[in-house]
C-alpha cells in the first residue's frame, strides 16, 4: 500500500543559537579569517594561514618547533602535522588536465580548510559551519550571494567555477562538480547527496571528456540523491527528484508519494514537473 506524507510549508522558523559568549567568539574568528584571506591572495601565505588554524583545531597548539624524524614511534604524528599544511597536500582536482593552475593554487588552501573544518571536532557545529563556509565561499567562488546556507560535507572540485545566488540552500553531502560552470539561481535548494555535474564522456570515446555549463534555475529544487547531468538547464521553479517518488508542489503543501513496498528509488532517473504557483 502506498503512503502519502503531507507537510505544511507554513511552519514557524526556529534558528538554534549558540550562547552569546560563544557567538561573539565565533563571529570574531570568522571575521579574522575573512580579513586574512582578503588581504592575502598569494597561495603560499594562504597555506600558512590555513596550516596555523588547523594546528589549533586538531592539535590544540600553535604551529612551530622541529619535527623528530628519527623516531619511528613519532612518524604518525609527523605525518599528521605535515598534512595539516596545504603545501603538503595533493587533491584529486589538481590532477585534472583542465585545471587552471594559477587559480587553483590560490584556491587549494581554502579548499583544504573547507574539507578539514568539516572533519574536525567542531565540523558539525551547524551555526558556526554555515557561516564559515559562506565566508570561504566569498573567496573561493566566482559569485557568492547573500543568505546562502551550505551544510556539512558539501564537496567541491575547483570552487572558482561556482556562482551561487542569494538565498540558496545546499544540504549535506551534495557534490558540486564545477570542472565547468555551475550557476545555482536565487532561492534554489540542492538536496542531501545530490550530484550536480558539468562533465561527461563521449559515448564513442570514453577517454574524451566533454564539459558543459549546468544551470539550476531560481527557486528550483533538486531532490536528495538526484543526479543532474552536465549541460542541464533547469528552468526557474522546476523540481527534480527520483522518478519512483515524484515530489509535487500544490498550493502551500508538499506531497511526497512512495511508490510502494519493495521499490528502491534510483538516483539515476528523474521525474520533472513544473512548480505550480
Task: For residue 163, list its beta bridge partners.
Answer: 143, 183
- Residue 74, C-beta contacts closer than 8 angstroms, at least 6 positions apart: 67, 68
Grid coordinates given for 163: 556562482
DSSP state of 120: S
Q: Is this prediction's pTM over 0.85?
A: no
The alpha-helical segments, DSSP class H, found in the chain are: 20-39, 43-59, 75-83, 101-119, 126-140
pLDDT of residue 33: 98
Distance between CA atoms of residues 98 and 94, nearest Å: 9
CA nearest to 4, candidates 180, 194, 222, 259: 259
- Residue 23, C-beta contacts closer than 8 angstroms, at least 6 positions apart: 17, 127
User: How far apart, in Å, are the Cα atoms of 250 and each of 253, 256, 273?
Assistant: 6, 11, 11
Distance between CA atoms of residues 15 and 111, nearest Å: 27
Grid coordinates given for 60: 590544540
Answer yes or no: are the C-beta atoms of 9 and 252 closer than 8 Å.
yes
Segment holding 156, helix H or strand E: strand 155-156
- Exposure string of 87-108, with b = 16+ CB inside 10 Å and e = fewer, is eebebebeeeeebeeeebbbbb
Answer yes or no: are the C-beta atoms of 135 and 114 closer than 8 Å.
no
CA nearest to 188, candidates 136, 132, 245, 228: 228
pLDDT of residue 127: 96
| HSE-up (13 A, CA, CB side) for residue 252 | 4
Low-confidence ranges of the chain (pLDDT < 50): 1, 244-277
CA nearest to 184, candidates 174, 124, 274, 201: 174
CA nearest to 217, candidates 240, 201, 234: 234
Distance between CA atoms of residues 212 and 231, nearest Å: 5
- How many Cβ atoms sit within 10 Å of the Cβ of residue 188? 24
Distance between CA atoms of residues 135 and 129, nearest Å: 10
Amino acid at each position: 500500500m502506498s503512503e502519502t506524507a503531507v507537510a505544511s510549508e507554513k511552519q514557524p522558523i526556529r534558528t538554534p543559537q549558540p550562547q552569546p559568549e560563544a557567538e561573539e567568539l565565533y563571529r570574531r574568528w570568522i571575521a579574522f579569517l575573512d580579513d586574512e584571506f582578503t588581504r592575502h591572495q598569494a597561495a603560499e601565505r594562504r597555506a600558512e594561514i590555513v596550516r596555523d588554524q588547523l594546528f589549533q583545531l586538531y592539535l590544540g597548539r600553535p604551529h612551530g618547533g622541529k619535527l623528530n624524524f628519527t623516531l619511528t614511534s613519532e612518524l604518525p604524528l609527523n605525518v599528521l602535522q605535515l598534512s595539516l599544511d596545504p603545501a603538503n597536500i595533493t587533491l584529486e582536482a589538481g590532477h585534472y588536465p583542465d585545471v587552471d593552475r594559477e587559480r587553483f593554487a590560490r584556491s587549494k588552501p581554502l579548499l583544504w580548510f573547507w574539507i578539514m573544518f568539516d572533519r574536525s571536532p567542531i565540523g558539525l557545529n551547524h551555526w558556526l559551519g554555515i557561516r564559515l563556509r559562506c565566508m570561504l565561499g566569498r573567496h573561493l567562488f566566482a559569485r557568492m550571494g547573500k543568505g546562502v546556507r551550505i551544510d556539512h560535507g558539501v564537496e567541491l572540485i575547483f570552487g572558482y567555477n561556482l556562482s551561487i545566488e542569494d538565498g540558496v540552500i545546499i544540504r549535506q553531502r551534495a557534490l558540486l562538480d564545477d570542472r565547468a560552470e555551475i550557476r545555482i539561481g536565487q532561492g534554489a535548494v540542492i538536496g542531501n547527496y545530490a550530484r550536480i555535474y558539468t562533465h561527461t564522456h563521449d559515448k564513442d570515446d570514453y577517454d574524451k571528456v566533454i564539459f558543459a555549463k549546468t544551470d539550476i534555475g531560481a527557486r528550483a529544487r533538486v531532490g536528495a540523491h538526484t543526479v543532474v547531468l552536465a549541460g542541464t538547464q533547469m528552468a526557474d521553479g522546476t523540481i527534480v527528484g527520483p522518478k519512483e517518488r515524484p515530489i509535487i508542489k500544490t498550493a502551500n503543501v508538499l506531497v511526497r508519494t512512495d511508490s510502494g513496498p519493495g521499490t528502491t528509488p534510483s538516483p539515476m532517473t528523474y521525474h520533472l514537473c513544473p512548480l505550480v504557483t
